[in-house]
Structure 1
Amino acid sequence: MILITEDEFSVEEVVAGTKRPDAGAVVSFLGTVRDDGISGMEVEAYREVAMEELEEIREEAMEELDLLSVDVIHRIGPLSVGEDIVLIVCTAAHRREAFRGCEQIIDEIKRRVPIWKKEIRAAGDRWV
C-alpha cells in the first residue's frame, strides 16, 4: 500500500495487516513532528508525481532487498508537534532486510519525492 493522505492512520492496523506466514520480520519506521522550536508544520506534495515516485521506491526496495511487502503512508496538510508524518512498514524473511528496507525507503523519500514541509514558528514560517 502506498498512500498520501490528510487523515490520521493507525500504526497498529497497518502493522497487523502486513503479517504473513513467510515473514520472520516486520519492521516499521514512524516519523513524527519534532518539537524543535516549532508550533507545527504544513506538509504539501505534488501528489501525482509523489505517488509515482513512492511506487518506484517501493518496487526498487522490494527487488533489491528481497522484501515481501512494503507499506508507506505519508501525511500532508497541517500537523502539530507529536503528530505522525510518515509510516513505513517492511516485511521480510529476515530482520536485516526489513531494517534495511525502512532505512533505504525513508532516505529515498527525502531525496526523491516532491513533498515539502513548512515549519510554523513564532518568529515566522520557513520551508525546509
Structure 2
Amino acid sequence: MRKIIKWQWFRIVLMLLLLLPVLGLGGIIWFSSVDNKAKIAELILYDEHNQLNDELFSKALAARFPRGTQLPNIEAFVQKLNGHCTHNGKTYCSFVMSSTFCVVTIIEIVVEVSAEKTVSGVFAKSRFMAC
C-alpha cells in the first residue's frame, strides 16, 4: 500500500514540474500582451455619446474600397459581417452592428457602381431600431 502512495506522489510532483514552467510562461505572455485594435477603432469612429459618426465611417469605407475597387470585394466584406447586398441600379448592403433583445443597430451602405461594375462611391449610415 505504501509503494502505491509513493508512486502517486512521484507522478504528481513530476507532472507539476513539467507543467508549471509551461503554464507560468503562458500566464506571463497573456498578462504582458496588449491589443488595442478594437479600442482604437472605437475611439476614432464613435463620438462621446457612443454614436457612430456616419460621415467618418463612410470615409473609412471609401478609403478601404476606393474608386475602381471590384464590387465583389465590398460584398465579401459585408458577408464576413453576416450581412447581405442587393442590386438595383446602385448596390445596397446592410449588416447588424449590434443587437440585444428588441434593439438593433444596422449599418446600411449604398455603393455607387460604375458601368464597369466597380465602386465609384461608398456611403454609410447607421440606423437604430427598437420594439
TM-score by shorter chain over 0.5: no
Higher strand share: 1
TM-score (norm: length of structure 1): 0.27
Higher helix share: 2
TM-score (norm: length of structure 2): 0.27
Larger relative CO (CA 8 A, sep 6+): 1 or 2?
A: 1
